[in-house]
Amino acid sequence: MKPNAETGQVRTNDVRSNFDMGTWFGEVKCVHGHPVRLFNLGRHHIVACDECRAFIHVGSNLMSCWRQESVGIWEKNWQSIAGYQEVEWGTSGCTSPP
């Protein structure tokens, strides 16, 4: 396992590719220390690392903010990860645009 770039330690035993999954979905970090962003594709919550060009699905309907977003926002979010590698963590349901 690769250590977390900020702490030098692996905080959990749950490391997926370049993502340290932390103890809850809001704690996901890139193991290389790159900034990550959390956004929605419909009801699905996604964490992406633009430097690594990878994303991971961290849950669905965990935050209600997706209900205030439009399809246009989700389409822009989907386009922002075009060509990125999807890191598997269970079933994402995010293999096509919203």
The pLDDT assigned to 37 comes to 93
The pLDDT assigned to 2 comes to 52
The pLDDT assigned to 84 comes to 93
Beta-bridge partner residues of 38: 47
CA distances from 26 to 62, 71, 75, 83, 98 (A): 10, 23, 22, 24, 22
58 contacts 90 by C-beta, under 8 angstroms: no
Give the distance between the most distant pair of CA atoms in the chain. 39
The pLDDT assigned to 19 comes to 76
The pLDDT assigned to 25 comes to 67
* Dist. CA 83–CA 25, nearest whole Å: 23
The pLDDT assigned to 97 comes to 45
For 93: left if phi > 0, alpha if psi spans -120 to 50, otherwise beta; the answer is left
What is the value of pTM for the model shown? 0.73
- For the chain, 98 residues long, the average pLDDT of each consecutive 10-residue run is 55 59 76 90 93 89 90 96 84 45
The pLDDT assigned to 20 comes to 73
Spans of all domains in the chain: 15-87
HEC profile for 17-65? CCEECCCCHHHCEECCCCCCEEEEECCEEEEEECCCCEEEEEEECCCHH
12 contacts 4 by C-beta, under 8 angstroms: no
